[in-house]
Amino acid sequence: MLSKDSSIETAKNTADNLYQLMELINSNIIDMDIEQIISLSGFCLDLSAQVSTWMDSEFARREKQRN
């Protein structure tokens, strides 16, 4: 799980996983049950929130270092 203190490598891996999951959903959506779509969409939202939180934290850390 990606947290505010995770390394950039962990953030990159999480973003890559999100992309791959979204690509998988997109290429198979016609064959998926609605429950699968809802569940995987929720997982995508969670991963994107983790990446967003990490980016906010990293931006704040870098701004603090500059000042």
**According to the model, what pLDDT value does residue 7 have?**
94
- pLDDT > 90? residue 1: no
* pLDDT tens digits, one per residue of 6-63: 999 999 999 999 999 999 999 999 999 999 999 999 999 999 999 999 999 999 999 9
Say if residues 48 and 18 touch (Cβ distance below 8 Å). yes
**According to the model, what pLDDT value does residue 67 have?**
82
- Take residue 55 and report the two structure tokens written for it: 């980016």
CA-to-CA distance for 54 and 21, rounded, in angstroms?
19
